[in-house]
Chains A and B, each alone.
Chain A
């Protein structure tokens, strides 16, 4: 069965500094991995997805994530945080033989001026 661990429930960074949101997954088969962002009282927006084409995935708003099979990780990064990045971020796994999307518990990102 798949599972997702987001190691930090809350991350706080200063505007203009790098962002690192950590995600580790467990999957029996080759997975698809996703990062979604949720701003307050809004639905979830897809940031990026990994589907085995390339290990470094670029998404919207300057975010990117690297798939590391040996570490079963899919950490989300951004070189320079912006105030508008403050939101909840969810890592999601779906194995390519299963059908369910499994969500991590989320990481709340705060950006300080």
Chain B
């Protein structure tokens, strides 16, 4: 099976712009979660989508949003970018069900905001 893919791998934007990141989960997985990773804050949970619905949400401002399509692919959008949004954004997919649910991560998108 192909793993989790994320596009683009690298992105450079300027303050005030918006950005959209994409994640394609492992075939058959219905849950996609997004995380932000920075040196200072570590790994922080953004949100999880399951069957096109947001199921869980972390403590991030409304500038961070996402969606999931019927094929389980997910996009994350950040509007009005700030310098502090520079981070590695990781996507993880899982079945989303059962007690042995396991997340598998993509390689990440490195976002730099100038």
Contact = CB atoms under 8 A, between A and B. Distances in A.
B42 A103 contact: yes
Contacts of B33: 101
B42 to A, nearest CB: 5
Contacts of B108: 42-43
Nearest to B50: A99
Contacts of A43: 4, 90, 105-108
Contacts of A94: 101
Interface in A23-64: 32, 34, 36, 41-46, 49, 51-52
Interface residues of A, number: 23
Interface in B26-40: 33, 35
User: Secondary structure at chain B's binding surface: helix, strand, loop or mixed?
Assistant: strand
B99 A99 contact: no
Contact of B107 (A36, A42, A101, A103): A42
B56 interface: yes
Contacts of B90: 43-44
Contacts of A41: 110
Interface residues of B, number: 22
A34 B101 CA distance: 11
Contact of A36 (B45, B100, B105, B110): B105
Contact of A46 (B48, B55, B102): B102
Interface string A84-103: 00000010101010011111
A106 B43 contact: yes
Given A36-B105, A90-B43, A101-B33, A51 B48 contact: no
Contacts of A92: 103
Contacts of B64: none
Contact of B56 (A34, A100, A106): A100
13 contacts: A32-B99, A34-B102, A43-B90, A44-B92, A46-B104, A49-B100, A92-B103, A94-B101, A99-B48, A99-B55, A101-B92, A103-B42, A103-B45
Interface of A: 32, 34, 36, 41-46, 49, 51-52, 90, 92, 94, 96, 99-103, 105-106
